[in-house]
Amino acid sequence: IACFKLEYKISIGNELNMEKLRIVGGNKLSGSISCSGAKNAALPMLAATILTDQKITFKNLPYLQDITTMFEILGSMGAEITLNEGMDFIISTSKLHDFEARYELVKTMRASILVLGSLVARYGFARIALPGGCAIGTRPVDFHLDALAKLGAKIELKNGYIEATAKKLIGCDINFPGVSVTGTENIMMAAVLAKGQTILRNVAKEPEVEDLANFLNSMGAKIKGAGSDEIIIDGVDNLNGTKFSIPADRIEAGTYLVAAAITGGNVTISNVQAPRMNNILDKLKLSGATINIGKDNIQLSMKKGSILPVDISTAPFPGFPTDMQAQFTVLNALSKGSSVVTENVFENRFMHVQELNRMGCDITVKGSNAFVKGVGSLNGAPVMATDLRASASLILAGLCANGETIVDRIYHIDRGYERIEEKLSYLGADITR
Ligand code: UD1
C-alpha cells in the first residue's frame, strides 16, 4: 500500500484531494499502449483470498485506488500483503483476526460487499457496513443478502452494519430476482465451501464472473457453467493457494479506443481479449471506425470529423456495458447526427451530461434516455467528475475540445484507470496532473 501511495500519490478516500487534470484538446492520438488488469476481475479475486489459509500470488494486478481500498479492508482484518521483485502481489489471509469491513472504507467503494460471502463461508461471521446510496442510483444489496440467507446464514442489520452468521453454509437452489454481477460473485464465493451442491440461476454472465470461477477452480473449487445463465457449484472442504494473472480490463481498453476514435487517431491497445469486447467493437465499427483485431491486440483508426451517430442501449453482458455508456455519449456528441443513449442498468447514471453540455454538447436527458445531437466542436471548460466512468467521459471530451479543460475531483478516475494521464500522454495527448 505504501508503494502505491508513494508512486501514484493516491490518498485513500480523501475528499480533500486537490489534484486535477489539465487537458489541452486537439491532438490526434497515435501509437500503442498496453491494457492493464481488470479492476472488476481483481476485486472479487482479492476477496476470495479469504477462502484459503494458503498464499495466493497475483500477476498483473492493476495499480488502482479501488485495489488499494480492498487491500485496506483485507489488511485491517489481518491479511499480509507483499510485493515481490517481479511485481507480483502475494496475499496470505492465514492470520485473520477481524471479520469486518468498516464504513470508512465501504463508503468509498461499494464493491467492499464482496468480502461478505468469503468471510461467512470460511469463518462463519461477517460484519460489513451497509453501502449507502451512491452517485449512480440506490444500488441495493438485497440480492446478496437474500441468497446468503438461503444458504443458511442468519442476517441482521445493526447500526448501519450487516451482520451475517452461519455454522456451516448448506448448498441449495437460488434463483436471483435480477441480474447482479457482484451478487453472483459473492454467492459463488460463499457456495464453494458450502456443504453439498448449489445451483445459481439467472446469474450475471460478465466475463469477470467467468474469470472468478476460473480463479476459484484453480484453488480447487468445483464450479461449472460460469458465463451461462446457470452456475453449478459442488462444495469442497478446503481450497488451496494459487498463482493467477488478472485478465485485461475491457472497459479500460474500450475507453482508449473511444479516445482514438474521437480524436481521429490511430491507436493499438495490446494485451486485450477482443472476443469479450464484441459489444463495444461492433458499436465502434458502426460509428465509422476501422478496427483490426490481432492475436492479443486491437487497432482502431478513424478519419477526423467522420463519426456516425450510434444508438446505445445498456444491458447486462452480452449486452452493451453500462460502464461504457458515458464514453459513447461523448462519441455521439461529436458525431454527424442524432442518437439516443438508453441506460437500463442503473438509475441516475447521466450525471456527466450536465458537465458535457457546459463544454458545448447538446444532450437532453429524459428518464433513462439521453437524446444526443452531434456538434462540430467542443470548448474546454473547468468541469467536475462525479463518478468513475463520468470522469472518463469528461477527459475524453477534453481531448477534443478547443483550449483548456480542467477536470476536478479526479480521485474518481484513480479508482479505475491506471495512470491515465501517462497512457494518454504516451499516445500524444496534452494532459498533465
Ligand atoms: C458491477 C460492476 C460495475 C458495473 C455493474 C453493471 C464490479 C466491482 N462492479 O457492479 O462496474 O457497472 O456491475 O455491469 O464488478 N441490484 C439490486 N439488488 C442487488 C444488487 C443489484 O437491485 O442486491 C440492481 C442494481 O441496483 C442495478 C442492477 O441490479 O440496477 C445491476 O447491478 P449489479 O450488477 O449488482 O452492479 P454491481 O455488481 O454493483
pLDDT tens per residue across span 361-399: 999 999 999 999 999 899 999 999 888 999 999 999 999
Q: What are 240's three cell numbers?
A: 488451496
Q: Which atom of ligand 1 is nearest to the CA of 347?
A: 30
The residues near 118 (Cβ < 8 Å, ≥ 6 apart) are: 47, 48, 49, 50, 51, 189, 190
Phi, psi of 299 (to 5 degrees): -110, 135
Closest atom of ligand 1 to 144 CA is 23
Distance CA 50, CA 97 (A): 12
C-beta 320 within 6 A of ligand 1: no
Ligand 1 centroid distance, CA of 343 (Å):
13
Cβ–ligand 1 contact at 44 (below 6 Å): no
Report whether 285 contacts 313 (CB < 8 A): no
- Looking at the CA of residue 345, tell me the nearest atom of ligand 1: 30
State residue 170 phi and psi, 5-degree precision: -120, 125
**The model's pTM:** 0.95
Question: First-to-last CA distance in the chain?
Answer: 21
44 Cα nearest atom in ligand 1: 8
Q: Pick the residue whose CA is nearest to atom 25 on ligand 1.
A: 139
Per-residue pLDDT of the chain in tens (433 residues, 90 and over written 9) = 444 443 444 444 444 468 999 999 999 999 999 999 999 999 999 999 999 999 999 999 999 999 999 999 999 999 999 999 999 999 999 999 999 999 999 988 999 999 999 999 999 999 999 886 556 666 789 999 999 999 999 999 999 999 999 999 999 999 999 999 999 999 999 999 999 999 999 999 999 999 999 999 999 999 999 999 999 999 999 999 999 999 999 999 999 999 999 999 999 999 999 999 999 999 999 999 999 999 999 999 999 889 999 999 999 999 999 999 999 999 999 999 999 999 999 988 999 999 999 999 999 999 999 999 999 899 999 999 888 999 999 999 999 999 999 999 998 999 999 999 999 999 999 999 9
Residue 57 near residue 85, CB atoms below 8 Å: no
Spatial contact of 337 and 309, defined as CB atoms under 8 Å apart? yes
Is the C-beta atom of 144 inside 6 A of ligand 1?
yes
- Pick the catalytic residue: 3, 134, 172, 400? 134
Per the CB < 8 A criterion, the answer to whether 166 and 156 are in contact is: no
Distance (Å) from CA 182 to ligand 1 centroid: 6
Quote the ligand 1 centre to 49 CA distance (angstroms).
22
- Which residue, 297, 287, 290, is CA-closest to 327? 287
Give the number of residues written for the chain.
433
Give me 248's grid cell: 485485461
Taking only Cα atoms into account, the Rg of the chain, rounded to an integer number of angstroms, comes to: 21
> Quick check: is 134 catalytic?
yes
Maximum CA extent, the chain = 63
Decide: 187 in ligand 1 pocket, CB within 6 A: no
* Residues in Cβ contact with 218 at an 8 Å cutoff, skipping those fewer than 6 apart: 242, 244
What does the alpha-carbon distance between residue 142 and residue 368 come to, in Å, rounded to a whole number?
Answer: 23
